[in-house]
Amino acid sequence: MSESKINPNDFSLDALKGMQSVRATFTLPRHAINLISTVANQLGVKQKSIFDHLIENKDIIDQIADEAKAYEPEKKGRKQKTFVLSRNCLSTLDTFAREYGLPRDVLVELSIRQLDPVIAQEKQRHKNRKRLLSQMQDFRKLGSHFLKRAHDLVGRDDETVQTLESFFSQYDKAMDELAVIIEKGKSVEQFPSAGEQQMSA
Determine the 3-state secondary structure of 46 from DSSP: coil
Q: How confident is the model at residue 60, as a pLDDT?
A: 80
Q: How many residues are present in the chain?
A: 201
- What pLDDT was estimated at residue 20? 83
pLDDT at 43 (0 to 100)? 87
Residue 7's pLDDT is 55
Task: Output phi, psi for 79, to 5 deg.
Answer: -145, 160
- 97 neighbors 104 (Cβ within 8 angstroms): yes
Tell me, what's the pLDDT at 4?
A: 47
The letter for the amino acid at 46 is K
What pLDDT tens digit does each residue of the chain (201 aa) get?
Answer: 444 454 555 545 455 455 688 999 999 999 999 999 999 988 889 999 999 988 887 888 888 887 877 787 777 889 999 999 999 999 999 998 898 888 899 999 999 999 999 999 999 999 999 999 999 999 999 999 999 999 999 998 999 999 999 999 999 999 999 999 999 888 888 787 655 554 444
Q: What is the pLDDT of residue 196?
A: 52
User: Tell me, what's the pLDDT at 1?
Assistant: 45
Residue 193 host element (H or E)? none
Distance CA 24, CA 111 (A): 15
SS3 56: coil
Non-local CB neighbours of 112 within 8 Å, separated by 6+ positions: 28, 32, 35, 36, 54
Angle formed by the axes of helices 87-100 and 58-70, to 10°? 40
Which of 67-105 are b and which e, b meaning 16 or more Cβ less than 10 Å from the residue's Cβ?
Answer: ebeeeeeeeeebeebebebbebbbebbeebbeebebebb
Distance CA 151, CA 129 (A): 32
Q: How far apart are CA 16 and CA 142, in angstroms?
A: 58
* Cα–Cα dist 131/128, whole Å: 5
- Alpha-carbon distance of 76 to 144, in angstroms, equals 56
Backbone angles phi, psi at 86, to 5 degrees: -80, 155
- pLDDT, residue 5, reads 52
